[in-house]
Amino acid sequence: MNIFDYLNINGHVTVHKVLDNGTEELVYDDHNVIVSGMGVALSCFFGLSGSNSVLDYQIDRFQVGVSGQPQFEVSTTYRLTGPLSSAQEYTGTTGELVAASGNQFANTFQAGTIWYSLIPAHNVTRISDKSVRYTLVIDKDSCNNLTRNGNESYINELGLFMKNPFNYSPHIAPILVAYKVISNIRKSNDFGLIVRWTLNF
Amino acid sequence: MIVDQAGEIIVDFLTLSPSLSKIPSASAILDTSNFTFQAISYGKDASAFNQHGHGFYAEDSNVIVVKSYEGLGVSSYHSSALASAIPGYKLLPEYPHPHDKRLESKNCRTIQSGFSGLDFGQCANHVIDSAFLTTYRTLGCFAPASGIDYYVVDSLDNYINKIIFSGTISSTYNYFSLMDKAGFLTFAPLNGAQGKAAATAGLFTSGALINLPTNFSSLGRVPVVWRLDAGDAGALLLYGGVYHLGLWCLDIKAMLAAGHTPPFSFNALNNIRKYRLFAKKTFNKDLLYINDSLGYGGFDVLFNNGNPPYDAGWGNYILYQWTIRFL
């Protein structure tokens, strides 16, 4: 048995649309998949062989993707299939998301300009001794009107990333630790999205 | 079993405020060593803390006296023999539970001849506490670094004439100041690569080590290795054996609440460290069970290390490896 079996580590995701009048409409509610990257990062942490700063083991960013398929919801998934590929896709011109680029540890070290959206520290909430909730706020001006090859695209996958467990420098290499395929959402500036992602240890 | 507190430790570091990095006096809290493995401990059933070597105080000599229930022909000590001899004594430790916060939840205080020891829920190291200068040899569970004699006897009455086997044991843990009075064996302050090098070289004089395999991250396995040298094994056996092992991280909240600030250095004599259980392993047979063989006394050959480095058992050790799987 591994630590996931003993502790029953799991997660849960809800996605709400937020309308201009402030009302929330639940559009998705399901468990997530804790992927193998979480185990890799924890073995690095407890094996004393990566970064010696706790901050590098914190989940401080996420990705939004447009190519999710249910068959990718397995523990061996190590990256999103179709993550947003630019700051422009995340924030548009007036969106409030904070986009940041970096490398990625996706099975192996992957150099390149890979885009993430940062999770503000105040959106990380300890909700019990063994649970932490990440609130991902995609405001109405962010992630809008996405396209791929000239066709409309839909937000349908999400991933949480640990910052830099292997202590890559000077550019960090986040690692995917939790993944979720959701039903298609065609994001526009008519509404925002709030993703409440709870991990239970 | 990885216990629930392990999840709490993970959530602790996932939710630490990044703003601490901007505060010089607090930034050390962000060091991973505050949350990683920092101690190993040994345990046994609670009732054993008033049996075996704990069960008798020899007032007239500086010796551990233990009654064997196996007769004159057995030159090893079997903790299980006591369970057969004393009605109602079950020997078995508590079964492990995810909510466990120490190895044995029941009272593990030795009460004997008008004095009592400390209750840590595990095998404590009273000998390094000056408050137990004369009584440590009954309170246990480890010998002094300078050594102590032991008699395993057939009867406690007039025991000096009832010795089955005897010798001297000395503690390596106390020689190198690796264990505090609560019985926490510390980890060497080494990173993964340094720990692997030390383990490969057999250097355990700074404590337990992380001995990572080359491809540890793809395996998701973190092996913890440590040594139990002859004299320490002998002492633990005379006091009732080993039925629990505990793997501990620091309890940083408790230490901060007590006014301590990082780095939380280990000091065997005056240890400010407080610990939180991460995992425990419970056995229904004594890990130190040994038999005589071919006319040789098992205890004498394996554990009787004397005043270093003189006796047969000197240099013997048990090497433990406990692998925590993250994948």
Q: Considering CB atoms only, which of B8, B17, B32 is closest to A52? A: B32
Q: Collect all residues with Cβ–Cβ distance below 8 Å to B173 and sequence separation of at least 6.
A: B125, B142, B179, B185, B229, B232
**Looking at beta carbons, which residues of chain A come within 8 Å of B326?**
2-3, 39-40, 42-43, 46
Cα distance between residue B25 and residue B40, in whole Å: 29
Cα distance between residue B70 and residue B239, in whole Å: 16
Cα distance between residue B165 and residue B93, in whole Å: 28
State which residue of chain B sits closest to A2, comparing Cα positions. B325
* Domains in chain A, number: 1
Tell me the per-residue pLDDT of B166-200, one tens digit each, with 9 for 90 and over: 999 999 999 999 999 999 999 999 999 999 999 99
Instruction: Judge: B326–A48 Cβ closer than 8 Å, yes or no.
Output: no
Q: Where are the alpha helices (DSSP H) in B58-126?
A: 79-85
Tell me the per-residue pLDDT of A85-107, one tens digit each, with 9 for 90 and over: 999 999 988 999 999 999 999 98
- What mean pLDDT value characterizes chain A? 96
Instruction: Judge: A201–B11 Cβ closer than 8 Å, yes or no.
Output: yes
State which residue of chain B sits closest to A50, comparing Cα positions. B192
**Mean pLDDT score, B99-104:** 98
Mutate to test the interface with B, among A43, A61, A129, A135 (most CBs of B within 10 A): A43
**Looking at beta carbons, which residues of chain B come within 8 Å of A47?**
192, 210, 212, 216-217, 222
Q: Collect all residues with Cβ–Cβ distance below 8 Å to A72 and sequence separation of at least 6.
A: A81, A157, A179, A181
Give this prediction's pTM.
Answer: 0.96
Tell me the per-residue pLDDT of A130-183, one tens digit each, with 9 for 90 and over: 999 999 999 999 999 999 999 999 999 999 999 999 999 999 999 999 999 999
ipTM of the complex in this document: 0.97
**Looking at beta carbons, which residues of chain A come within 8 Å of B26?**
none
Instruction: Judge: B325–A52 Cβ closer than 8 Å, yes or no.
Output: no
Instruction: Judge: A130–B8 Cβ closer than 8 Å, yes or no.
Output: yes
pLDDT value at residue B310: 62
Q: Considering CB atoms only, which of B11, B21, B325 is closest to A55? A: B21
Q: Taking 70 as the threshold, does the pLDDT of residue B161 lie above it?
A: yes
Cα distance between residue B235 and residue B318, in whole Å: 13
How many contacts, defined by CB atoms under 8 Å, are there between A and B?
A: 130
B188 close to B207: Cβ distance less than 8 angstroms: yes
**Mean pLDDT score, B197-222:** 93
Q: Collect all residues with Cβ–Cβ distance below 8 Å to B183 and sequence separation of at least 6.
A: B41, B42, B120, B122, B123, B124, B125, B141, B142
Least trusted range by pLDDT, from A30-39, B77-86, B190-199: B77-86
Q: Taking 60 as the threshold, does the pLDDT of residue B309 lie above it?
A: no
Q: How confident is the model at residue A192 (pLDDT cuts 50, 70, 90)?
A: very high
**Residues 195 through 234 of chain B touching chain A, CB cutoff 8 Å:** 195, 210, 212, 216-222
Q: Collect all residues with Cβ–Cβ distance below 8 Å to B84 and sequence separation of at least 6.
A: B69
What token pair was written down for B176?
């190198």
**Mean pLDDT score, A56-80:** 97
pLDDT value at residue B314: 81
pLDDT value at residue A126: 97
> Domain range spanning residue A162?
3-200
pLDDT value at residue B59: 87
Q: Taking 60 as the threshold, does the pLDDT of residue B290 lie above it?
A: yes
Higher pLDDT, B214 or B136: B136
Residue written as tokens 């300009």? Answer: A113
Rg (C-alpha) for chain A, rounded Å, is 16
3-state secondary structure of B172: helix
Q: What number of other Cβ atoms are within 10 A of residue A92's Cβ? A: 17
Q: Is A1 within 8 Å of chain B by CB?
A: yes
Q: Considering CB atoms only, which of A3, A45, A166 is closest to B2? A: A3
Q: Where are the alpha helices (DSSP H) in chain B?
A: 4-14, 79-85, 136-139, 172-175, 192-201, 216-219, 230-238, 252-257, 298-302
Dihedral (CA of A162, A168, A169, A174) sign:
negative
Instruction: Judge: B216–A201 Cβ closer than 8 Å, yes or no.
Output: no
Q: How confident is the model at residue B308 (pLDDT cuts 50, 70, 90)?
A: low
